[in-house]
Amino acid sequence: MRALRRILAAVVALLLLAAAVVTIVEVVVAALDREPWVVPREDLAASLRDRTWSEAPVIAWSAAAALLGVALLALGLRRGRPAAVPLATEVDGLALSASRRSVERAVATAVSEEEGVQDARARLGRRRLKVRAESDLADGDVEQRVSRSVHGHLEALQPRREVAPRVQVRHRSR
C-alpha cells in the first residue's frame, strides 16, 4: 500500500506541477497579448459560455472529478496491512520488528510441512494471523498440528501487541 501510494503521489505531484507551470505561462502570455501556449483560451471561454450545467459533457467532467476525488480519498485514508509487526522489547529506543511478508512466508512454509498438509497460506493483519491449510487427511489431528505450529511461531516472535491466530483447515477428498 505504501509503495503504491508513493508511486501515485509522485504521479499526482508531477501532474500538479505541470498544471501550475501551464497556468503561470498562460497568464503571462495572455498579459503580453501573445498566442496561447497550450490552452486555447478563447475556445475554452466560449465553450464555458455556451454550455449549461445540465449538458452531458459538463456532467461527465463533474462525475470524473468526483470519481477521481473518491479514488484519491480512498488512497489517502486506507491504512493497508503493516509492512512489519512490532516485536516486544524492553530496550528503550529500540524498535524491533519482523517483516510481515517474511512472517507470512515462514508460517506458511512451516505449516505446509506438517504431516497431511498439502498447501498453506498465511495472512497477517494488525491483530490477526489467518492461516488456511489444505489437507487430504480427514482427521482432526491435522488441525492440532497446524495450530501448534502457528502458536509456536507466534510464541517465538513475541509481537508487541497480541496477534490472534485463526487456523482453518480444508479437507480435500482424495
Partner 1 sequence: MPAVDRANRVLLTILGLLLLAGGATGLAAGLGGLGDDVADRAVATNGTSDWLDRNGWFWWALAGAALVVGLLALWWLLSQLRVSRLDRVALEPESGDGYTELSGGALSAAVADDVERLPGVRRATTSVTGRREAPRVGVTADLDETGRLPELRRLIERETVPRLRRALGAETPIDVRLRLAPQTRRRVT
How far are the Cα atoms of 64, 99, 126 from residue 82, in angstroms, in the given order? 31, 9, 7
Q: Which C-beta is closer to partner 1: that of 50 or that of 173?
A: 50
Show the cell assigned to 62: 463533474
The angle that helices 56-77 and 2-31 make with each other, rounded to 10 degrees, is: 140
Q: How far is the CB of 127 from partner 1 (least distance, A)?
A: 19
Q: Which C-beta is closer to partner 1: that of 7 or that of 173?
A: 7
Nearest alpha carbon to residue 167 among 149, 158, 155: 149
Q: How far is the CB of 152 from partner 1 (least distance, A)?
A: 10
Q: Which residues pair with 84 in a beta bridge?
A: 99
Q: How far is the CB of 174 from partner 1 (least distance, A)?
A: 19
Q: Which C-beta is closer to partner 1: that of 14 or that of 164?
A: 14
